[in-house]
A and B are shown apart, each in its own frame.
Chain A
Amino acid sequence: MHRSGDASVIRLTIDGRSIDVESGTTVAAALVLAGVRSTRTSVSGEPRAALCGMGVCQECRVTIDGRAHTLACQALCRDGQIVRTDDSAGTP
């Protein structure tokens, strides 16, 4: 993959773990980079992750900086951002 000129690094926290990503990375991509296997657990207990990648299916919804139900596929990573997946929402 060709690297673009802007390779500034962004540091965010996903489920309590710090991770560095390239500027322009979506939160959906950062979740994969951070090794998060699923964004939510379905009503019957199945793990789920991004399906449509473009803001339709709502499977990738996470809590970003305290704001619940934010779509990870349509959110860009920002420095200092705190991302929580559904499964960890209740934990400190």
Chain B
Amino acid sequence: MGQSGGHTMKQHFDIVVVGAGPAGLNAAHAAARAGATVALLDDNPRAGGQIWRQGPGHAPQAPLQRLLSAIGDRGNTTLWPSTRVVAPLDSRRLLLESAEHGGACVTYEHLILATGARERLLPFPGWTLPGVSGAGALQALIKGGMPVRGERIVIGGSGPLLIAALATARAAGARVVAVVEQAPAFDVARFGVSLLAEPGKLRQAVGMTRGFAGLHYWTGSMVEAAHGDGRVERVTISRGHAERRVTLECERIACGYGLVPNVTLAQALGCTIGAAGEIVVDGGQRTSVEGVFAAGECTGVGGAELAGVEGEIAGLAASGGAADRAALDAQRARWRRFGRRVDAAFALRDAARTPPADSTLLCRCEDVSLGEVREFANWRDAKLQTRCGMGACQGRICGTAASLYFGWQAAAPRPPFSPAPISTLMAANAAPPPAE
């Protein structure tokens, strides 16, 4: 796979894929097979997305290696690692900021959004203490080489990701003292039984939960507060309706309430967004905007298998490649059914939807508390009056929480989506207007 060339400030590709996780890699592979020139961008230094994250002690997983070598063999895909989309420009152009090349402008015939999902991180008293992270975040940090050997960790929130985080933390030598799941025992058990229909997923689950003995797995429970002096030292957990509280000593708390699609770029392009915050696509993974496709978790959370199939379909549709569409459609339907079972089992219950105490910080960038924000009628007013959501993360963290608690429609972040040097922003103007 070639690296993006020299100091070139503008390049044209048949297809630009944003995101090099399972969806983006499969999309790029399908498009490359059809003979298209492809650029595959990712803001991380290495391909693989969250699920195939590599690091010291975490060699590239087999499916990632297969895809990367298959894409590399074709020779028509350019990989742009550590590259962010700063802004979409008119006439099918994207303004990029790349660690290697600085500012750049690429043009495309077709764009495939494979921007994935992020964790839904919900505030609780003490969640700003160092040592508190998301559950997927803990996995990512460990895979990046963060030492946790001997640390006591409490994992909380909701969904299968908690079990994956448990497996990663244990393999790295941590002592996971409790997994705190907000969904009730009945729904979690029913989901477990439903895994019998997907033997591969069942094997995965059994492998990850091996040796559950000695670990508290508490359902219908919530991480209520983190305590410590400059660092996590203890956690309070509320258990069930009886309002029973348990306090445990720990060095880390990893808490995430499922995933939310990343749609910032899609919104800026004008793509229709659905009720669950996902990019709306048709059977060919086309968005509502001409020439723009989307695949994977950004079109609705359903796991890596679903993302892979959707990526394949998007890559084929965008490049006009030939395929057995019926077989791909059937696979997509199967993994969407699985995704719906996950959704039903781990849907957020009232306790998770109820805001914590007013003194809890909602916006970590500007240090705005829930109490300061809740009196306003909508997100816009809250932002203007309190600066909530106007900091470095552009409301990506607090906007998600505010939307859950208050039903507020968070405004889309505006370009530039990430801090970019002035030279990059000038690259947008340096690019000549394309010939029509």
**Chain A interface residues (CB < 8 Å from chain B):** 1-5, 7, 21-26, 28-30, 32-33, 37-38, 42-44, 46-59, 61, 69, 73-76
Contact = CB atoms under 8 A, between A and B. Distances in A.
Contacts of A26: 55, 141, 144-146
B419 interface: yes
B365 interface: yes
Interface of B: 43-46, 50, 54-59, 82, 99, 118-119, 121, 128-134, 136-141, 144-147, 171-173, 230-231, 364-367, 391-393, 396-397, 419
A21 B145 CA distance: 9
A31 to B, nearest CB: 9
Given A1-B173, A44-B367, A50-B133, 10 more contacts: A3-B57, A22-B56, A24-B54, A38-B230, A49-B131, A51-B121, A52-B133, A57-B397, A59-B364, A76-B46
Nearest to A45: B367
Given A56-B396, A73-B144, A51 B134 contact: yes
Contact of B130 (A30, A37, A52, A75): A37
A74 B396 contact: no
A52 B82 contact: no
Given A4-B57, A24-B56, A74-B44, A43 B366 contact: yes
A48 B364 contact: yes
Contacts of B137: 50-54
Contact of B141 (A1, A73, A75): A73
A75 B45 CA distance: 7
B45 A69 contact: no
Interface of B is mostly: loop
B130 A48 contact: yes
A69 B367 CA distance: 18
Given A53-B133, A57-B396, A29 B141 contact: yes
18 contacts: A3-B56, A21-B145, A22-B56, A26-B145, A32-B147, A37-B130, A37-B231, A38-B130, A42-B128, A42-B364, A43-B366, A43-B367, A46-B367, A48-B364, A51-B132, A53-B141, A58-B393, A73-B140
A52 B171 contact: no
Nearest to B369: A44
A52 B119 contact: yes
B391 to A, nearest CB: 8
Nearest to B132: A51
B136 A29 contact: no
B144 A37 contact: no
A91 to B, nearest CB: 19
A61 B392 contact: yes
Nearest to A21: B145
Nearest to B144: A26
Contact of A50 (B59, B141, B231): B141
Contact of A29 (B145, B173, B393): B145
B147 A52 contact: no
Nearest to A74: B44
Given A29-B145, A48-B130, A69-B419, A57 B121 contact: yes
